[in-house]
Structure 1
């Protein structure tokens, strides 16, 4: 027997939700029973909602701690602040929206996890709630009646499983994200432009671009995101409601699960792992979900395409390396990473826009015909946004319109507020919709 970690057998549950609970360790690769009991206690601990977020946070922090994650130095913090300040100055000439930055920050990976967790709750909870409920409803009536009090334990276990997988996904994302708005969603506190210097350093390797240019280009993207979400108040709720709409349509394929379970050998960990990785418990998508996903994917592409277009205009005459940076960011967003794949398998949502290039072309074409005010005024109301069909012909969007949709300059915010107020007054149901601004 040896204490060399390299002699330990590979964890048979690696890559599955059980990896967090059955880590290889101890003699002959047997589970650490003390650690297992602690995990079981954490799983069964009371928690609000359908996700055990305490467990998720613990797992995410442990994942981040597996590699060095130093707190950004004062020099790095100052460099981020200077880059965002210069970025905002350049963007003033490239779009109609004024600055949306209220503060700046340089985050470690652990700080990214903590600073974005509240928004992840809003995004994940609706999906988890409906998955757990659908799993319970999938049981025959007789089985639910016989289960009785055990249904509550099943809910806790479901929340723990979601917490475990969400924590692993967030821990992985923390090692990949470059800024607070890197995936196109407003994850950080409103108005705070944040960069992750450690990840930016890794991203810059091999680009053959000066480190200052890499930081400035990413600061431009972050500041552009901040402008858009600060001055289009319905956009945040529009994106989040698309995720909630997806969650409401969750359906569990019980027949498919039963068929696969009959073919599983409980003594074959490899077969169990392959079944889990193959989506054994993955919900099937309904037509309503497909529509919600299309809406989310299109809006994310429009957000990223607008940022791509605006930053391109801001750097056109100022940054010779901008085209190289633009292509690097486009490829990175299109390909995604392992953590994004994990999140997609968990919730069924793609975090990367597939049609970024089409959206960027559409916004650029609109600017060339109607100027920056005509381009940016499309964000006045969700009904004015391009659709997925418009992305099929990006050069033809609003080709028949001869004048900008709205006034530009100082009147823009006033016209936006007026239109949104009219939409709220006209809602006879009294229920808040996707167009209502929320804090």
Structure 2
């Protein structure tokens, strides 16, 4: 139902509206990727049979990869919902294509690196992407040395590569949770075709402002699954954030300045961009970075990296949303758990 060609056209247009830098300094990735894999493995103990080669890509290539993954995720649910609409499905599909394209285009101008894989197809190969013009723009705007920024981002993305490559159950577990959520979507595309009254707008705004767009689209009976997904993502991101700082402290010239600059980049947005980020869930992801990193830092401070690695022992060892703010309680619950690698 979604016109993915239209989505791609919109995404490229939105991406082109954002400033970009000279990608050339970020096109040689073999050495920083190999260094990152060696350092992250030495610190965490995570080892993968193979990690995908690092690829320097332009924004259009990232958009293509992102929309391909998005299509795999969205088509089953959209097809189920759109079948109820009849002729209105064509119009709704165009509206959703524009929305998907706008979101992808916005992200294409912001993403520095990404461990990319089809989340609902755990056996398909992954890619390790670095968006070279965005890295160049970030280095300029943050006043950061290009080589230092690249090495630091490589630590983060290689941590994800080793998480998913070194923990056998991780990709299937994520796919299973997402399938459960997608089966619970209550979104009705017909709502896109009518003008809501003031009461509708106020109620929807309050729900999105409080809980994010995902909660609005998923029924209350699946809130527990959504919480598990969000806690899972917080651990993934927080672990990578912890590792990039713990390892980077020994190999980067001025890690505190890099960390401070990156935090400013994540927070400094115009009013319109802040609204857009909130609607597409980026605000939630920022909270995931912060909450997840605080949890991981607290666990390591008490039990070392081996204690934190209990999260990879089994899905049941993952912290709940409440435990993200209770590292001591989580450590007590998992005291007899051993890492699975």
Matches within 5 A, 1:265-304: 285-304=218-237
Aligned match of 1:195: 130
Aligned match of 1:55: 6
Aligned residue for 2:287, secondary structure, equals coil
Q: Give the gaps of 5 or more residues in structure 1.
A: 1-49, 137-150, 264-273, 413-439
> In 2, distance between residues paired with 1:262 and 1:301?
36
Aligned match of 1:430: none
1:361 equivalenced with 2:273 (yes/no): no
CA contact (8 A) 2:36 2:158 kept: yes
Aligned residue for 1:239, secondary structure, equals helix
Aligned match of 1:113: 63
Aligned length: 324
In the superposition, relative to structure 1, how do residues 105 and 349 fare at CA in structure 2: closer, same or farther (>3 Å)? closer
1:84 equivalenced with 2:19 (yes/no): no
Matches within 5 A, 1:9-408: 50-66=1-17, 72-73=23-24, 76-78=26-28, 80-99=29-48, 100-129=50-79, 131-132=81-82, 136=84, 151-181=85-115, 190-251=125-186, 285-330=218-263, 332=265, 342=276, 345=279, 352-399=285-332, 405-406=338-339
> In 1, distance between residues paired with 2:9 and 2:160?
29
TM-score normalised to structure 2 length: 0.78
> In 2, distance between residues paired with 1:305 and 1:186?
23
> In 2, distance between residues paired with 1:292 and 1:177?
27
Counting helix residues as a fraction of each chain, which structure ranks higher? 2
RMSD value, Cα: 3.9
CA contact (8 A) 1:127 1:246 kept: no
Deviations 1:347-368 (A, max 9, x none): x786615243332233234334
In the superposition, relative to structure 1, how do residues 335 and 391 fare at CA in structure 2: closer, same or farther (>3 Å)? farther
Aligned match of 2:210: none
How far off its partner does 1:176 sit?
0.9
CA contact (8 A) 2:120 2:175 kept: no
Deviations 1:141-163 (A, max 9, x none): xxxxxxxxxx4322222222211
> In 2, distance between residues paired with 1:194 and 1:405?
32
How far off its partner does 1:192 sit?
2.9
CA contact (8 A) 1:107 1:194 kept: yes
> In 2, distance between residues paired with 1:168 and 1:259?
20
> In 1, distance between residues paired with 2:26 and 2:99?
32
TM-score normalised to structure 1 length: 0.62
CA contact (8 A) 2:317 2:334 kept: no
CA contact (8 A) 2:112 2:132 kept: yes
CA contact (8 A) 1:251 1:286 kept: yes
CA contact (8 A) 2:47 2:165 kept: no
Rg comparison, structure with higher value: 1
Q: Give the gaps of 5 or more residues in structure 2.
A: 207-212
In the superposition, relative to structure 1, how do residues 112 and 186 fare at CA in structure 2: closer, same or farther (>3 Å)? farther
